[in-house]
Structure 1
Amino acid sequence: MTGLTAASARAGRALLASPEDLTQVELVWIEKQVEHWIRFGREVREQVLDRRRRILFFPPGTTFALVRWAANEHGTMLSRLDILRAVGPGEPCQTIPTVTPGGDILLRVDGWPKVERMLQLIDAIEAASIDPVEVAPDHWRHVHNRLAAGETPRAYTMQRHRAFLLRREIGA
């Protein structure tokens, strides 16, 4: 199956999933107070609650990046970026605020310098013409571990990406 065909098949399965099988992410945007956004990901549904809140729905197995930022009168209180894999019904998961039921955490960084670094790494992946949604989950785990150890992560190259896609295609 080619990447395009595989993506189409996943999208088709997502449309068949019942709403309770989808991972829900509540996004809030109160300018300069609480700002949650998706940096990358392919939701299959959106529910607008009001002008400041909406819920995005992700099918099992999809990867997305959630950025959460909050401040008060003294400055930034929270800067966090999580890269998550949406889980299926009954699948074990970690709890994350605003994510129901939770997700498989592939990467988590706290603090604006680390969040900014991750945004730059995501930009670099996109600059290499790779959709971050399609990046190997193990790469995000690698980046998490390297950043946690204060080390520089390996770049995600087109060669690594092709190897991952071939491995996924043969079911390894």
Structure 2
Amino acid sequence: MSEVLKKEVLENLLERRSIRYFKSEQIKDEDLQQILEAGKYAPSAANQQSWHFTVIQNKEVLQKINDVAKSVFAKSGNKNYEERSKAKDFSAFYHAPTYIIVSADEKAIAPIADSALALGNLFLAAEALGIGSVWIHAVNFLYTTEEGRALFKELGIPDGYVTYGSGAFGYNAGERPKAASRRDGTVNIIK
């Protein structure tokens, strides 16, 4: 690997930020395919590749997901979710034009880690292509409700698969966030 490429890879890792304001313009199909391919090449426990990616770009389906999320949030008992559901312009995925749900076989060795690593690859690939992204953890809460599980079945998430995270993807419509300072005391090196 060339020194220039190494530097670009490291910069991509350090510069990626969560984007929460998206343009309505849909990402290109070829970019989506590259992002998904990067997700498929994430590390996984015992190389089980336990993940399944559900990509939603249809506006009506995105609205349905948002409506279910708003309803579930409103009656969740979680103060943050309840407050969020009251927002006039509520969007569980920040109005992004592409939403990717990552589920995994619940019988896999490490489905949570597999899903998280796959999402990380999706986000880093998007960054390299000039596409913004943000982790959406609320999908995990939806899965705990009957309404959410019915929605996921309708979306074609395989039986025996549990949702562990999701991501919103699109072109940034806001100011690029600055990195928060890193906490001290998070590394021990033993030689």
TM-score, normalised via structure 1 length: 0.25
Bigger relative contact order (CA 8 A; separation at least 6): 2
TM-score, normalised via structure 2 length: 0.24
Which structure has the larger Rg over C-alpha atoms?
2
